[in-house]
Amino acid sequence: MRLEVDITGKSFKSAAGGTQEVLAPVRFALQSGEVGVLIGPSGCGKSTMLRIILGLDRDFEGHVSRPPEARIGMVFQEPRLLPWRSVEQNVRLAAPDVTDAKLAELFRILELDAHRSHFPGELSLGLARRVALARAFAVEPDLLVLDEPLASLDDALAGRLRDEIATLVARRPVMTLLVTHSLDDAIRLGDRLFLLSPRPARIVREVPIAIPRAERSEAELGKIRAELAALQLESK
């Protein structure tokens, strides 16, 4: 499966009557098994791009081709759980075909076992984010979209969840699109990084990371980090 994004432009009508350009031409593609990372300053139009890719916003110029049968798993910036359904029901409603064994495994990996029957209002943000992750993985997605899934979590928890995401992504071939501010998340999870400009967003540079995810040592990560820092200086 392959996701092809070819957006030629997107603008909003502002309240004052003018039009505001949000996206400049953006073009990239993603294969099964690849993790693409969109990195850019806040407000550059990343969320708008995701909405277009997910089919929530059809008012744009260009073309997005996504296999029609592709199942989508999404982790929104806010958890977006149904407050009136329990944790388990939240997952099952999005993924009705999930087996009990698979669900049990997900809950074990994400340490949600004790919270199955809780309502989202009783959970901390960190827990709610894990439920959102569980929901996205339970559908066994072909396209997994993660919109800053680790924002506003403390470093230790974010680190653990990042490892969990890596584990889950490694399990089956899935096209993953990750949006993040964190360079660290990007180089630890990504296969290809897309560096975005400020609004209207365009891809300033595409940086492939050749070393497989599991084999990236701290030294190599440091090297990639330094390269990226140099690139970013250069582009400014």
Partner 1 sequence: MLRLLSFALLLAIWWTAALFVGAAKLPSPSAVLDVVIAEASSGALFLHLGATLARVSLAFVLAMSLGSAIGYLMGRVKLADRLGDPWLILLLNLPALVVIVLAYIWAGLTEAAAIAAIAINKLPTAIVTLREGARALDRSLDEMASVFAMPRWRAFRHVVLPQLAPYIAASARSGLSLVWKIVLVAELLGRPNGVGFEIGVAFQLFDTPRLLAYSLTFAAVVLVIETALVQPFEARATRWRPRAA
Q: How far is CA 127 from its chain centroid?
A: 18
Among 46, 129, 135, 202, which residue sits at the site for partner 1 (rule: CB under 8 A)?
Answer: 135
**Distances from the Cα of 30 to the Cαs of 144, 161, 174, in angstroms?**
11, 23, 10
CB of 103 to partner 1, least distance (A): 15
Sign, Cα dihedral of 103, 130, 139, 2 = negative
Is residue 183 within 8 Å of residue 225, measured between CB atoms? Answer: yes
Among 84, 108, 117, 152, which residue sits at the site for partner 1 (rule: CB under 8 A)?
Answer: 84
Q: Which stretch binds partner 1 (CB under 8 A): 66-74, 101-109, 157-165, 197-205?
A: 66-74
56 lies in the site for partner 1, by CB under 8 A? yes
CB of 138 to partner 1, least distance (A): 10
Q: Report how far apart the first and last C-alpha atoms of the chain are (Å, whole number).
A: 36
Listed in order, strand segments (DSSP E) in 40-161 are 61-65, 72-75, 143-147
Structure tokens of 230? Answer: 């140099």
209 lies in the site for partner 1, by CB under 8 A? no
Beta 192-196 vs 175-180: how paired, if at all? unpaired
Among 74, 134, 189, 224, which residue sits at the site for partner 1 (rule: CB under 8 A)?
Answer: 74
Q: Which stretch binds partner 1 (CB under 8 A): 25-33, 88-96, 98-106, 201-209?
A: 88-96
Binding region for partner 1 (CB under 8 A): 51, 54-56, 71-74, 76, 78, 80, 82-85, 89, 93-96, 119, 121-122, 135, 139
